[in-house]
Amino acid sequence: MLSAVLGLGQIGLVAAIALGWASKKFAVDIDARELDINEVLPGVNCGACGYPGCSGYAAAIVEGKAAITLCPPGGGDVVEHIAEIMGLDANVGEPLLAVVLCQGDNRKTTKKYRYLGLHDCNAASKIAGGPKDCPAGCLGLGSCVASCPFEAIEMTADGLAIINRELCTGCGHCIDICPRQVIRMTPARETVHVLCNSHDKGGVVRKYCETGCIGCNICKKTVPEAYKIDKFLARVDYDHAEHAALAIEKCPPQCIRDFKTAYPESSHFRPEQKQPSATLCAGKDLHG
């Protein structure tokens, strides 16, 4: 009994000394500030800052390589915290949210072909530019949904990406992945947007989309300072958008929407259906 206790005690002692020595010898110097910053960062490792994970970003800030405003998911609070830790002035930028500038789902737009294959917008857009007649609208295959680290994007049953403004942090992943550049960063306070991305002429747009902007200028005539028309496509001028909502009623194809009131409606979301991500097989040798 005694020998057992002594034996174990000796092993314990040796191990303790070895561990103690090793922790001194191989200790990695970590700036205390780095740990603090890592604490205040959201910890989702979304990569929006461009560094490998939150700890990578924290290290970069301490080394002075990175600006303190690169964490969109954290928002203003995190910037203020980091500024405090680093002893810098917090210069919080305007919070941004991603918006899908399109409402042409599968019911409202026409298709130039029926696509079958990999369920990915980038893959589909390599085949004759994507299955939609509209060259700029949402393809509805959900690459952005898969890319969003915050599960803020949902795909409607009719194939249109909708961004949940509560969950979106403005990290910009969806913007990088979208082959159509139909997702844009907009100031979070602005809720009125022109939901169209096609620069085609009005007559062309009408052929393929019920609800695309036809460049009719009515919105600009109604609220001149709030809208710009660029190549047959109206855009909200977010710097002077106070009265932009006045044009909503006037827009003939109803492509101006105010997220505060009209869109997206919660009933818009239907349970996700199994998507036909099928391989098309031509030829006699397939009996299927």
Partner 1 sequence: MNQKTFVGGVHPADSKHDSDTKPIEACPLPEQLIIPLSQHIGAPAEALVKAGDLVFKGQTIAKASAFVSVPIHASTSGQVIAVEPRLHPCGKMLPAIVIEADGEDHWDPSLEGIDPAQWTGDELRQRISDAGIVGMGGATFPTHVKLSPPEDKLIDTLMINGVECEPYLTADHRLMLEQSDKIMDGIDILRRVLGVKHTIVGIESNKPDAIACMAKAGANHGIQVQALEVKYPQGAEKQLIDALLGREVPSAGLPMDIGVVVQNVATAAAVSDAIRLGRPLVERVVTISGPAVAEAKNLRVRIGTPLSFLVQQCGGNKYEVSKIIMGGPMMGQSQLSLDAPAVRGTSGLLLFGEKDLAKIEAGPCIRCGRCVGACPLHLLPATIASYATLGMFDEAEAHSALDCMECGCCTYICPATRPLVQTLRHAKGGILAKRRRS
Partner 2 sequence: MDNQLYMSSSPHVHSGETTQDIMRAVIYALLPACVLSIYYFGLEALLVLLLCTAGCLTTEAVCCVLSKRAMTLSDGSAAITGILLALNLPASSPWWLALFGSIIAVTIGKQVFGGLGHNPFNPALVARVVLLISFPVQMTSWTSPTPLGHGLDALTAATPLGEMKTSVMLTGQLPASAHSGFSDYLIGNMAGSIGEVSALAVLLGGLYLLKKKVITWEIPASYLGSVILFGGMFWLIDSQRYPDPLFHLLTGGLLLGAFFMATDMVTTPITRSGMLIFGVGCGVITVLIRLFGGYPEGVSFAILLMNGATPLIDRYTRPKVFGRNPYHNINQTPAQEN
Where does this chain bind partner 2 (CB under 8 A)?
Answer: 110-118, 123, 126-128, 131, 274, 279-283, 285-288
Question: Residue 15 or 128: which CB sits closer to partner 1?
Answer: 128
Judged by CB under 8 A, does residue 175 bind partner 1? no
**Between helices 75-86 and 53-62, what is the axis angle to 10°?**
40
The item of partner 2, partner 1, none sharing an interface with residue 110, based on CB under 5 to 8 Å by kind, is partner 2
Residue 193 belongs to what H/E stretch? Answer: strand 192-194
Question: Residue 111 or 260: which CB sits closer to partner 2?
Answer: 111
* Residues between 72 and 131 with contacts to partner 1, criterion CB under 8 A: 112-113, 116-118, 120, 122-123, 126-129
The item of partner 1, partner 2, none sharing an interface with residue 131, based on CB under 5 to 8 Å by kind, is partner 2
Judged by CB under 8 A, does residue 47 bind partner 1? no
- The DSSP 8-state label assigned to residue 38 in this structure reads H
The item of partner 1, partner 2, none sharing an interface with residue 120, based on CB under 5 to 8 Å by kind, is partner 1
- Chain Cα centroid distance, residue 52: 18
Decide: 174 and 182 in contact? Cβ < 8 Å.
Answer: no
Residue 131: CB minimum distance to partner 2, A: 7
Angle CA 82–83–88, to nearest 5: 150
Question: Residue 120 or 237: which CB sits closer to partner 2?
Answer: 120
HSE of 175, CA atoms in CB hemisphere, 13 A: 15
Residues touching partner 1: how many (CB under 8 A)? 26
Among residues 157, 250, 255, the alpha carbon closest in space to that of 206 is found at 255
**Which residues, at least 6 apart from 233, have a Cβ–Cβ distance to it below 8 Å?**
194, 196, 197, 198, 199, 213, 215
Judged by CB under 8 A, does residue 284 bind partner 1? yes
Binding site for partner 1 (CB under 8 A): 112-113, 116-118, 120, 122-123, 126-129, 274, 276-288
